[in-house]
Amino acid sequence: MGSKAAVLVLTDERPERLFQDISGLDRSKSLDLAAEFLEGTPRQSGILPLDLGVWPEDGTACVASFPRFDVICSRKIARDHPSDIASEAARLAGMRNAYAICMESSRDWVSILAWSPAGVIRAVSLSPGEGVIEDAGQRLPFEDPFWEGRHPVQSERYRLPFHPIDLGNEALRHFFGFVLEGAEDDLCVDPEEVEIPVFCT
């Protein structure tokens, strides 16, 4: 399947290890959040492990509300310009921070957003077909090795100095503590062991 993801996390904490403690799923709040995001009357249509739930079917959303954070996975947030979802993040997050990572390996495309109530902290999106689509805010520390050429592409014809999907998986590791492809570290969560409800309208 490759790496496909469209994940938005809302929290007032640092997000790195949130998925290590997913106890306390609030089903009522999850339903309310799904209704707010989908802007309709949702019904739960199943449960998916996180490795599949990060890229649910069109017209559905994987939504879960935990004591320390909310998570929404939906192709609706997979925008080429991550700043385009800042208003949606603001609407859903309130006074919390929002972090979004979207990627699709068929395009070798990644989009990353870090947002706070003060505004966009970082918005970056790129693919070899379109080059750098958006590059706003200060680069985050985990990006530096990529831009500095420490993850080179073995092709002189490739348009970018690294594969965006590699950056996307490193962003997943940095922000959320799991990866879809690549080596896991000792602190990574296995996304196959995390389950989140699926909603549709």
Cβ atoms of 73 and 56 closer than 8 Å = yes
Using CB atoms within 10 Å of the CB of residue 6, give its burial: 0 to 12 exposed, 13 to 18 middle, 19+ buried: buried
Q: What is the mean pLDDT of the chain?
A: 93
Tallying the residues shown for the chain, one arrives at 201
Distance CA(161)–CA(150), nearest Å, equals 9
Cβ atoms of 66 and 22 closer than 8 Å = yes
Cβ neighbours of 1 (radius 10 Å): 10
Distance of CA 154 to the CA centre of its chain: 27
pLDDT of residue 155: 85
Distance of CA 68 to the CA centre of its chain: 17
Reported as type and span, the H/E element at residue 123 is strand 119-127
Task: Give, for all 201 residues of the chain, the pLDDT tens digit.
Answer: 579 999 999 999 988 888 988 889 999 999 999 999 998 899 999 999 999 999 999 999 999 999 999 999 999 999 999 999 999 999 999 999 999 999 999 999 999 999 999 999 999 999 999 999 999 999 999 999 999 999 999 888 899 999 999 999 999 999 999 999 987 877 789 999 999 999 998
Residue type, 87: S
pLDDT of residue 1: 53
pLDDT in tens, 106-145: 999 999 999 999 999 999 999 999 999 999 999 999 999 9
